[in-house]
A = this chain, B = another copy of it.
Amino acid sequence: MSWRKEQRRAERGYHHGNLKEALLQAALGLIAEKGAAGFTFADAARMAGVSAAAPYRHFRDRDELLSSIAQRGFEQFEQRLTEAWDDGRPDTVTAFERVGRAYLAFAREEPAFYNAMFESGLPVDANPALQAASERAFNVIRAAAERLAALAPPGTPRPPAMMMALHIWSMAHGVASLFSRGDAARRKLPMSPDELLEAEVLIYLRGLGFPTDRRPQAKSAEPPPVPPEASSGSGVPPGGPWGKPK
């Protein structure tokens, strides 16, 4: 029973050396397994090979550890969304959909982060740093929506970018929360979450008058202020965003 301790002592001495990081990693694993609710401070300590009191040298309490994870999650989230957006290349609509997929991919691949960020019930606005990180991530979607709104077909009223961003966020979060992720809590689906969200966003964009397939509504009289949209390559099957009607 004590060989582990001895071994670790031999490795790293009395002091752990990087306990804070080890705790964060341990917590991530535990949250991924059992959800933010099921994760216990004591477990994280045990997994890091230290006593139950040790974590208090690095985090005021359990909530602060959770907040740290959420914060880190928002930062990685922002990064992934930014990469996906790729400044709107090769064309705005394509990049926009890529952001949607990146959203789902993050929820699927980093369930622990996503859980801590959106489902742990921690008060976001109580922690200014956390709130700021959350807003930075949202701003990626917002900036993308801004660019998209500027592309609104002439003659159509220009949709407020903020609203578009909130709509897209709610769609992505709704799909991720209800259907994505491996949790037992998630519902079964007749299609993949990615397909579901992609169709949803495409229909929504079409509702705003954006050309999403073969741009049937495009009145062809607008010099695009950004790199010209490729008419193919948006990944939309020709019969509409949901494939062949039967």
Binding site for B on A (CB under 8 A): 35-38, 118-126, 134, 156-160, 162-163, 166-167, 169-175, 177-179, 183-185, 187-191, 196-197, 199-200, 202-208, 239-240, 242, 244-245
Contact = CB atoms under 8 A, between A and B. Distances in A.
A245 B124 contact: no
Contacts of A172: 174
A73 to B, nearest CB: 14
A124 B185 contact: yes
8 contacts: A36-B37, A123-B184, A125-B187, A126-B184, A134-B187, A169-B178, A174-B175, A207-B208
B184 A196 contact: no
B240 A159 contact: yes
| Number of this chain's copies in the complex | 2
B124 A184 contact: yes
Nearest to A158: B245
Given A158-B245, A204-B204, A207-B205, A196 B166 contact: yes
Enumerate the 9 nearest inter-chain pairs by beta-carbon distance, A residue then B residue, closest first: A174-B174, A207-B207, A170-B174, A157-B245, A123-B184, A203-B207, A206-B207, A173-B174, A170-B175
Contact of A190 (B162, B199, B202): B162
A203 B170 CA distance: 14
A173 B185 CA distance: 15
Given A167-B199, A200-B170, A185 B121 contact: yes
A150 to B, nearest CB: 13
Contacts of A191: 163
Contacts of A204: 200, 203-204, 207
Given A163-B191, A173-B178, 10 more contacts: A35-B121, A36-B37, A123-B185, A124-B187, A162-B190, A169-B174, A170-B200, A174-B177, A203-B208, A207-B208
Tell me which of A123, A134, A174 has the highest count of chain B C-beta atoms within 10 A of its own C-beta. Answer: A174
Contacts of A159: 203, 240, 242, 245
Interface centre among A123, A183, A200, A239 (most CB of B within 10 A): A200
Contacts of A185: 121-124
A43 to B, nearest CB: 16
A196 B119 contact: no
Contacts of A205: 207
A63 to B, nearest CB: 11
